[in-house]
Structure 1
Amino acid sequence: MRRGLLVPVCLYANKAGLDMLETTLAALQDITLDKIFRESGQEALNSVQMIMQQGFTILPAGICLSVMENYVSYQRAVAWKVVREGTDVHYLAFAFTNWSFV
């Protein structure tokens, strides 16, 4: 997520992330975090300010949605701020552990 964006979008995912979101790298930028973290995952979006101040946060087990609107459960997620050296451009990175389709 870049600082100042109203709707955080996905910029990169590894193979596991693409599989979890049921998308391709080319289509990834069309996905916004609010679409992934609907309903029970809203705490992830509410944690953005804490991530920007503290640098990271650990999200407890939860459920998010893939692009195909399939529910995906995860045991834990870690979100952290990535800062581009020499600029004030910030991104968020997420790592999900033990995810599976529900």
Structure 2
Amino acid sequence: MCCSVKATASPIFTFANQAGPDMLETTLVALQDIMLDKVLDEAGRKILCSEFSKIMQQGYTYLPSGICVSSMNRLVSYEQDSAWKVLNDNDANHCLAFMFINRSFV
């Protein structure tokens, strides 16, 4: 799943393969109404904040297992999350991509 990285707004999901909307129990169209900070639990938000500079400098990071929340308020556990920055054609930051590995509803 990809989310925006605008400095002036909360990150929102902008694109995903079908596994993303399935995990968040939404549609591709409604995906853009979901903010990243509403999906990650408090621990996940803290870890992402602490790793954000590493993502921006190194280009990626691996995040530990955690819990996120679907749009239907169901808990989804995952074993690992990979996060990396995506650049546009001008090598400027375009978005962050996330891959939740071995996810399942709790």
Question: Is residue 79 from structure 1 mapped to residue 83 from structure 2 by the alignment?
Answer: yes
Corresponding residue number in structure 2 for 1:57: 61
Q: Percent identity?
A: 50
Amino acid at match of 1:96: F
Aligned length: 102
Moved beyond 3 Å, runs of 4+: none
SS state at 2:44 partner: helix
More strand by proportion, 1 or 2?
A: 2
- The Cα shift of 1:34 comes to 0.4
Q: Show structure 2 runs of 5+ residues with no match.
A: none
Equivalent in the alignment of 2:98: 94
Which residue of structure 1 lines up, in the alignment, with residue 37 of structure 2? Answer: 34
Tell me the C-alpha RMSD between the 2 structures: 1.4
8 Å Cα contact 1:37/1:45 also seen in 2: no
Structure 1: stretches of 5+ with no match in the other structure: none
Report how far residue 87 of structure 1 moved.
5.0
Match among 4, 11, 16 for residue 14 of structure 2: 11
Q: CA deviation at 1:89?
A: 3.7
Following superposition, the deviation at residue 47 of structure 1 comes to 2.3
